[in-house]
Structure 1
């Protein structure tokens, strides 16, 4: 009885932490078939999206994909051409930015250079007519949360980039919005500071419980910050999912290529069984006499160790990440094993990235974690080697 109750309790806790999995929770933000046109150009095209209370949701995409335009429509700075936006059950049509339960943090931070940190954070509350004693207490609380209480008397030019970012965040949060919109919030920071600030941002969001929607073009940033990611391209949402889902199970070649590094092969189905398929891939060398060798037409093969909904001769794409590949001086027993020439090695500290050339001229990328401080017998550039991966390492794509 106790075990059953424990399992049930754990499942309920998991569902509460991930409301998008239940199908019963009401979305906090509902975007319904939103379109935004500028003349003949469609910046956002029929986007529908549900975001739940307490989420840190990232809109990820390249420049010009429509993510910032979508954010500005949520904030009220742009009017949709068609469609509907609801926030906390309220239709936002016709509601100006200052009457929405939102606040927006811009990439430039837009701090007042002549004001101190404290006055920058207090500005919005004072404009709203909040009593000075309340303003003082809320500003002090917010500055302590972002660890700037000792710098309250400084002006923006006396702060580092990371400190200015936290001032802008405190100013956005001090008005206690239900929804905070962040447009490339860490884009102005250097790499190391950006990585440190990502964790601070997550901690603040979890502490306050405010729903965050973050726009970014940085895939690593989206993976680190978000509860879920919405990948955008050409004005449309291509895939929505938790970071491991988007990375490990992309739904298209675009997502596989945009999120992380990937080796992508085009092939055709030569064997289709309930528990495996084989693909003939012209870029790969023939390395064995598999059961589908005769129908491969001189092409190499990829063996996929699970069933796929497909037909014989159907064109498919196969994506495998560099870290899923193994490199050896000897042929492997793995079903996917091919001879390569190690053309280059990039030592990145925590890992090494290998640029490999197949006999037909196609290049692959493989990576290996540097677990030891020094390896005497490591494979280096200019060597002949074998690359291999397990039959479950990659993902089959139909689009």
Structure 2
């Protein structure tokens, strides 16, 4: 019997020998005394859907504008497909940018909006409109070509803007908060449309967003930005499960953060003194830590189990009282005040609960496995 075929790994960033398609080398951008982007280096591979994630003013849009050529770096270099972009103007770069406002021409039909860039370049009307029809079919708007933008919904205008940005076949599409103007349900639906289109065309997408759920859904990898620097780059699961700092842990999803002190270490377990938790917390052994060192523990709400009776086999058990319960259909969120006075957040799927659900003012045990308490040093 022949050996089973193993699918090729489509994650080139896991191979340190692979050359990135986009190289951002020690980029800094200053506006007077203010440093918007500070010595950022980053590699993005061909065909990625990469998200720059961060709050307002963190530098993510400035970095995107430097990629597009709308801002000039104060220091550093940007290479796309091996070519230094330093002296290449925006209209000569292998990039196109889709803005949050969509910037559609209100007096033009949808098909003319999409074909506009090709017409400006001198392409024949027949060929340009044929290409526009292909793009509108890709974004599932083939029957809307004769309408004006005001006759479309927000989600439809977003897809027209996407078709217009893609029709010139850029190697890189830059999207600045592309779904920010859509309502929650439409935004969620459009996220998967973006993924489908990106995978179909194979174009490298770089998306700027402040929405952590959007980044987690869209991205092959995420770069979390703060104060002009990239705190961590990784796949969505890696960023969520193994944050490198308290900021990343707190920014991505919901988390309970505890301050603790390294108390003792054994080959199979390490003990942390954690006053907010009411005593010792057991975690897997960590390298590079010393006795007495201050650390922090990141504990995700879904990694905690609530029970009325003390669990026999749990290594870490906290005692507290339920202060609030929020029911959101598929899950419930609990705010539990520990006997130490510290409040923690716990989430549990409703379909897994048996018997009478835990409610307000009940005394409960909150337990978690040692590996759920992620130890952070910064």
TM-score range, shorter chain: over 0.9
Q: Structure 1 residue aligned with 2:117, among 109, 117, 124?
A: 124
1:301 lines up with 2:294 in the alignment = no
Q: Hey, which bits of structure 1, 4+ residues long, moved more than 6 A?
A: none
1:348 lines up with 2:341 in the alignment = no
Matches within 5 A, 1:31-50: 31-50=24-43
- Residues 265, 285 of structure 2: 8 Å contact kept: no
What is the Cα deviation at residue 2 of structure 1?
2.5
What is the Cα deviation at residue 376 of structure 1?
4.7
For residue 295 of structure 1, what is the aligned residue in structure 2?
A: none
Q: Deviation digits for residues 244-277 of structure 1, max 9, x if unmatched?
A: 0000000000000000100111000111223221
CA distance in 1, matches of 2:114, 2:247: 41
- Residues 269, 279 of structure 1: 8 Å contact kept: yes
- Residues 276, 308 of structure 1: 8 Å contact kept: no
CA distance in 2, matches of 1:267, 1:187: 38
Q: Structure 2 residue aligned with 1:366, among 343, 346, 351?
A: 346
For residue 18 of structure 1, what is the aligned residue in structure 2?
A: 11
For residue 266 of structure 1, what is the aligned residue in structure 2?
A: 259
- Residues 186, 194 of structure 1: 8 Å contact kept: yes
CA distance in 2, matches of 1:20, 1:396: 26
For residue 164 of structure 2, what is the aligned residue in structure 1?
A: 171
Residue 231 of structure 2: SS of its match in structure 1? strand
- Residues 30, 86 of structure 1: 8 Å contact kept: yes
- Residues 26, 52 of structure 1: 8 Å contact kept: yes
CA distance in 1, matches of 2:276, 2:213: 30
CA distance in 2, matches of 1:119, 1:275: 67
Q: Deviation digits for residues 254-303 of structure 1, max 9, x if unmatched?
A: 00000010011100011122322111011122xxxxxxxxxxxxxx1110
For residue 289 of structure 1, what is the aligned residue in structure 2?
A: none
1:330 lines up with 2:309 in the alignment = yes
1:190 lines up with 2:183 in the alignment = yes
CA distance in 1, matches of 2:14, 2:154: 38
1:378 lines up with 2:357 in the alignment = yes
Residue 76 of structure 2: SS of its match in structure 1? strand
What is the Cα deviation at residue 126 of structure 1?
0.6
For residue 221 of structure 2, what is the aligned residue in structure 1?
A: 228
What is the Cα deviation at residue 381 of structure 1?
1.1
1:279 lines up with 2:272 in the alignment = yes
- Residues 331, 338 of structure 1: 8 Å contact kept: no
For residue 21 of structure 2, what is the aligned residue in structure 1?
A: 28
What is the Cα deviation at residue 95 of structure 1?
1.0
- TM superposition score normalised by structure 2: 0.98
- TM superposition score normalised by structure 1: 0.93
CA distance in 2, matches of 1:161, 1:231: 28
- Residues 331, 386 of structure 1: 8 Å contact kept: yes
